[in-house]
Amino acid sequence: MSQTLQATYAAKRKARRFAVQGIYEWQMSHNPVHQIEARTRAENAMHKVDLSYYHELLTQVVENHEALDALLIPVLDREISALDGVELATLRLGAYELKEHLEIPYRVVLDEAIELAKHFGGADSHKYINGVLDRLAQSLREAEKQQAK
CATH number of the domain within which 136 lies: 1.10.940.10
Does 18 fall in a domain?
A: yes
How far apart CA 50 and CA 19 sit, in angstroms, is 11
b (16+ CB within 10 A) / e for 20-37: bbbbbbbbeeeeebeebb
Does 56 fall in a domain?
A: yes
Does 147 fall in a domain?
A: no
Does 148 fall in a domain?
A: no
How far apart CA 134 and CA 4 sit, in angstroms, is 29
Does 97 fall in a domain?
A: yes
Does 53 fall in a domain?
A: yes
Q: In which domain, by residue range, is 31 found?
A: 1-142
Single pTM value for the model:
0.94
For the chain, the domain total comes to 1
User: Could you list the pLDDT tens digit for every one of the 149 residues in the chain?
Assistant: 566 767 788 999 999 999 999 999 999 999 999 999 999 999 999 999 999 999 999 999 999 999 999 999 999 999 999 999 999 999 999 999 999 999 999 999 999 999 999 999 888 999 999 999 999 999 999 888 678 76
